[in-house]
Amino acid sequence: MSGRKPTDEELRARLTPEQYQVTRQRGTEPAFTGGYYHSKDTGMYLCVCCGEGLFSSGTKYDSGSGWPSFWQPVAAGKVESRRDASHGMIRTEVRCGNCGAHLGHLFDDGPQPTGQRYCINSAALDFRPKPERR
């Protein structure tokens, strides 16, 4: 499914209203409400729209912000960032590098080694746990 760009109609039918609003209308879920905020499970976070792997649980950390936070995407180019001057603030918007879904925002107050904080809505992500090794 990687590399596929879902249509707006398909997403409207498949996503929950909150997922649709966040990813297609650049919404933000209320802080501390997202299903993945507290998750410490091992696995991969995929774009809820297109299934592209975006963030690994290994780079997830508790930023105290109320949203899942990562200090690095799984690979360069998996996400794209662009200047966002909405809501009277200059921020950096983070989008899925494959389908353009809005994910959240990027800040420069994250932990080392990158110093970056990818502040991502749970509603924009789909978590796939890593299979247990026997």
- Is 50 among the catalytic positions? no
Taking the complex as a whole, the smallest distance from the CB of residue 97 to Zn ion amounts, in Å, to: 8
Q: Given candidates 46, 49, 106, 123, which one binds Zn ion under the rule CB under 5 A?
A: 49
Q: Given candidates 96, 103, 106, 123, which one binds Zn ion under the rule CB under 5 A?
A: 96
**Between residue 3 and residue 42, which ones bind Zn ion under the rule CB under 5 A?**
none
Task: Give the nearer residue to Zn ion in terms of CB position, either 99 or 119.
Answer: 99
Question: How far apart (Å, rounded) are the C-alpha atoms in residues 63 and 119?
Answer: 9
Question: How far apart (Å, rounded) are the C-alpha atoms in residues 50 and 7?
Answer: 10
Question: How far apart (Å, rounded) are the C-alpha atoms in residues 105 and 71?
Answer: 12
- On whether the CB atoms of residues 47 and 126 are closer than 8 A, the answer is yes
Four-point Cα dihedral 98, 103, 106, 112, nearest 10: -80
Instruction: Please report whether residue 123 would count as binding Zn ion according to CB under 5 A.
Output: no
Q: Nearest-CA neighbor of 131 among 15, 54, 43?
A: 43
Taking the complex as a whole, the smallest distance from the CB of residue 49 to Zn ion amounts, in Å, to: 4
Selected range binding Zn ion among 55-63, 74-82, 85-93, 94-102, rule: CB under 5 A: 94-102
Instruction: Please report whether residue 50 would count as binding Zn ion according to CB under 5 A.
Output: yes
Residues near Zn ion (CB under 5 A): 47, 49-50, 52, 96, 98-99, 101
